[in-house]
Chain A
Amino acid sequence: MKYAAFIWAAYGSSALALSWMIIDTLVRGWAARRALERLEREVA
């Protein structure tokens, strides 16, 4: 396939960007949930 390196690099960089967004979102969501649960327990 001609220009295969460019095509795979484009798909790879897109996968990388999506993976970063998914991981960062899940980690933030998990951390916020844990922090809120801990505080709710403390306040109660």
Chain B
Amino acid sequence: MITVLANPHRFMAFSRWAAPLFGLAALALLGWGLTLGLAVPPDYQQGDTVRIMFVHVPAAWTAMLAYGCLGAASFFSLVFRHAVADAAARAAAPLGAGFTAAALVTGSLWGRPMWGTWWAWGDSRLVSVLVLFLLFLGYIALRASIEDEAKAARAAEILALVGLINLPVIKFSVEWWNTLHQGESIFRRGGPTIAAVYLQPLFLMGAGYFCAFAALWLTRTRAEVRRRRAAGLALRASS
């Protein structure tokens, strides 16, 4: 599949119908998830603030997915020199930054009423997600700061690959260190500790966020492929 999509023409043909399809799926899933999420009864401990979980957790999941995609695309670009992979890596970074920012802000808005603080520097989960945000910004800044596009791509790809180490740190931070953030409560051995009534809207919103990311990622990659084709044409026209 990756080898097939490495060809820009095949990628453009695939993404032409896949991007709107993911967009429609995102609309349906987010609409369904929001309807259920706003109708669930208040949690016995968190009260109505449990509803923040339906936008905070999917944003955090999607931020990690975006970094995983950025890392994978960087790997394929660095090792196999796939033309579309570099465009895909570049397209994933601003989206990842957006979803991470949303996760940080909504987490802070949940933390203030529940923990009594907006932010805790000693909390490894919070700080590792902030590092994720800085990695996205660093990737964008690095690509923008080097004029030679090929050199900028290589430097940014190495940064993206090194930054992959942060993903398991985020995932296991609540197990490795004592944190204010609650422990793993969904993807854990023995099953989720969250009541089923909250799991359904959470998974629907998660699937909606994933589909939204896929639609936006494909659309941005298409724009990046077109930008490169235009740059090539401009060069040919001027010579």
CB within 8 Å of B: which residues of A? 1-4, 6-7, 9-11, 13-14, 17-18, 20-22, 24-26, 28-29, 31-33, 35-36, 39-40, 42-43
Contacts and interface: CB of A to CB of B under 8 A. Distances in A.
A14 B55 CA distance: 7
A11 to B, nearest CB: 6
Contact of A42 (B99, B110, B237): B237
B68 interface: no
Interface string B188-228: 00000000000000000000000010001001101110110
B110 A10 contact: yes
Could you say which interface size class chain B belongs to?
35 or more
A13 B98 contact: no
Contacts of A20: 98
- Which secondary structure characterizes the binding site on chain A? helix
Contact of A43 (B55, B110, B227, B236): B236
A11 B55 contact: yes
A43 B33 CA distance: 49
Given A10-B110, A14-B59, A39-B234, A4 B48 contact: yes
Contacts of B216: 21-22, 25
Interface stretch (B101-109, B142-150, B169-177): B101-109
Interface string B59-86: 1000000000000000000000000000
Given A17-B98, A17-B99, A36-B233, A6 B227 contact: no
Nearest to B220: A25
B174 to A, nearest CB: 21
Contacts of B236: 43
A39 B230 contact: yes
